[in-house]
Amino acid sequence: MRGTRSGQDNLYHDGPVPAADKAAVTGDSGLTSPGTAKSLTDLSGYVPSANSPVIAAGIDIANDGGRDAAGTALPSGMPDLGGLQRSAGPGRDEAAPTATTTFGNGQSTSPAALTDGSDYTSWASPSTGVTYPGTITLTFPSRRTVSEVVLATHFGQGQGITKADVQTWDGSSWVTRAADAQITWTGNTATVERRSLRLPSAVATTGVRLVVKAANHTWGNLSVNEITTR
C-alpha cells in the first residue's frame, strides 16, 4: 500500500484494530465502485471517493517512486492511503525533507525522525531547560504547494506542542501564514494523534517553519513523531 509502512498507518474497515498499529485509520474505505474491475489496467472503481477517510491520510515516504499502483503521479506530502491516488500530484521521486530545530535533542533522538516516513519514531527536546519560542524547520528537496502542516504525536497531553506560528520561506525570509495556532491533544497514550495546522491559502515554498510557543511538559520535554504537509 502507498503511504503506509508494514504494520502501521493501515485502514481498518471492519473488525478490531490490531494493538500494534498505533496510527490506524478506521471507517468505510469509500472506494468509487469496488468489484467492477475487469483487468489490471482498469482499476478506476478502486480509486477512493472524495469523502473517503484515506484521502491524504498516508505518510510521506522518501524515494517512493512517485507513482501509485496504476502509474498516477503522487503528491508532494501526504498521499492517499492505499494503492490508488484520487488526484494526481507532481510525482517527484525524491529524498525526505531535512528537519532542524533550535530546541536541541533529547537522549537518543534526532530531528531526522520528524521526516523519516514513520509515525512510530519520534524526536524529543531535552527534558530540562526548554525555553520558548523555539523553531522546528523543514526544508524540502524541491518546491511544493502547502495548504496544511500536519503534526503526528503520541502522548500528546504529556508532551505535545500546544501553540505555534506556521511560517513558509519566500526565497529570502520567513513569512508567518498562521499565528498562534492552538493545538489540542485528546490522548496521553502510545496511540498516535494527528493535528492539522491550516494556512489561510495554499503557498508554494521550499520550506516550512514552526515557531513553537508552548507545549505540554509532563516529563519536561516536548516531542513530535512526524511533521509533513498536504
CA–CA distance, 226 with 54 (Å, rounded to integer): 18
pLDDT at 190 over 90: yes
Identify whether residues 58 and 165 lie together within a single domain. no
Identify whether residues 219 and 109 lie together within a single domain. yes
pLDDT at 72 over 70: yes
Domain boundary among 93, 116, 142: 93
Taking each continuous run of H as one helix and of E as one strand, the counts in the chain are 1, 10
Domain boundary among 59, 93, 127: 93
CA–CA distance, 202 with 178 (Å, rounded to integer): 12
Average pLDDT over residues 190-207: 97
According to the model, what pLDDT value does residue 76 have?
Answer: 87
The DSSP 8-state label assigned to residue 54 in this structure reads T
pLDDT per position as a tens digit, 46-55 = 888 888 888 8
What confidence tier does 3 reach under pLDDT thresholds 50, 70, 90? low
Helix, coil or strand: residue 173: coil
Q: Which residues of 98-128 are buried (b: 16+ CB within 10 A; e: fewer)?
A: ebebebebbeebebebbbbbbbbebbbbeee
Domain that holds residue 83: 1-93
According to the model, what pLDDT value does residue 113 have?
Answer: 98
Identify whether residues 131 and 42 lie together within a single domain. no
Work out the number of other CB atoms within 10 angstroms of the CB of residue 190: 10
Number of domains in the chain: 2
